[in-house]
């Protein structure tokens, strides 16, 4: 699959591709050369038929009774997800979450390069967390004019989220991963994904309570 062919992979398939890629890379690291849809389905708790359908978007290269070539699957999915190139990312908000993300070394393994961390607080500007010192947010526009920034991770308080995202979009950054517990709006041409940790915890709490594992919820 080359060029713009990846557009033919349905958006609903993309989250599953990330699961496949993580597991396939793990298998490859352990020397596994081939894997069947049945075995892969058992590893990631999915239906084999669904996996075969998803892999069919990359062409028919599985062999009945033999399975799929792990290296080729990794290459095809990597290309489809746009991970065959390096994406530059910044973090805006150098609080506890932002600095924890700045220290995370797994970004580079997946093709993401952290090129800067920004904050408005004089107390953290100049400190170092992972990728150089924390810069003042007032430097953001000039930084983006000199350095290609593909993705911005927003870890500011909820009250500052919208103005921060507005600023990021105005600087020409086209993708935002928002960790602030509030929905933000973006102009056309900018992609935003919401990571709502509070809501995920609430869902887990509901599941625990529904199973009777959460104690007295009256």
Ordered structural domains, the chain, with CATH: 3-80 (1.10.10.10), 87-199 (3.40.50.720)
Separation CA 117–CA 109 (nearest Å): 19
Percentage of residues in the chain with pLDDT exceeding 70?
Answer: 89
Q: Quick one: pLDDT at residue 145?
A: 96
Each residue of 83-138: pLDDT tens digit?
Answer: 888 999 999 999 999 999 999 888 887 889 999 999 999 999 999 887 678 999 99
- Dihedral of the CA atoms 170, 134, 132, 129 (nearest 10)? -120
The reported pTM is 0.79
Does residue 22 contact residue 16 with C-beta atoms inside 8 Å?
A: no
- Whether the per-residue pLDDT at 211 is higher than 70: the answer is no
Q: Quick one: pLDDT at residue 67?
A: 85
Separation CA 71–CA 39 (nearest Å): 16
- Whether the per-residue pLDDT at 207 is higher than 50: the answer is yes
Does residue 13 contact residue 57 with C-beta atoms inside 8 Å?
A: yes
Each residue of 13-46: pLDDT tens digit?
Answer: 999 999 999 999 999 999 999 999 999 999 999 9
- Whether the per-residue pLDDT at 4 is higher than 70: the answer is no
Q: Quick one: pLDDT at residue 111?
A: 85
């Amino acid at each position: 699959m080359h060029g713009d062919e990846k557009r033919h992979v349905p958006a609903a398939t993309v989250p599953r591709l990330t699961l496949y890629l993580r597991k396939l890379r793990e298998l490859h690291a352990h020397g596994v050369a081939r894997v069947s849809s049945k075995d892969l389905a058992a590893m990631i708790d999915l239906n084999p038929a669904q996996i075969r359908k998803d892999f069919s978007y990359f062409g028919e290269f599985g062999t009945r009774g033999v399975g799929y070539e792990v290296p080729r699957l990794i290459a095809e999915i990597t290309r489809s997800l746009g991970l065959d190139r390096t994406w530059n990312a910044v973090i805006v908000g150098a609080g506890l979450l932002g600095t924890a993300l700045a220290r995370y070394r797994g970004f580079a393994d997946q093709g993401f390069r952290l090129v800067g961390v920004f904050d408005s607080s004089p107390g953290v500007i100049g400190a170092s967390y992972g990728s150089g010192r924390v810069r003042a947010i007032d430097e953001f526009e000039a930084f983006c004019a000199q350095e290609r920034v593909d993705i911005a991770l927003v870890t500011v308080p909820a009250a500052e989220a919208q103005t921060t995202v507005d600023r990021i979009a105005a600087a020409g950054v086209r993708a935002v991963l928002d960790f602030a517990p509030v929905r933000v709006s973006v102009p056309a041409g900018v992609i935003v994904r919401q990571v709502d940790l509070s809501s995920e915890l609430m869902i887990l709490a509901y599941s625990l309570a529904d199973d009777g594992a959460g104690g007295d919820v009256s």
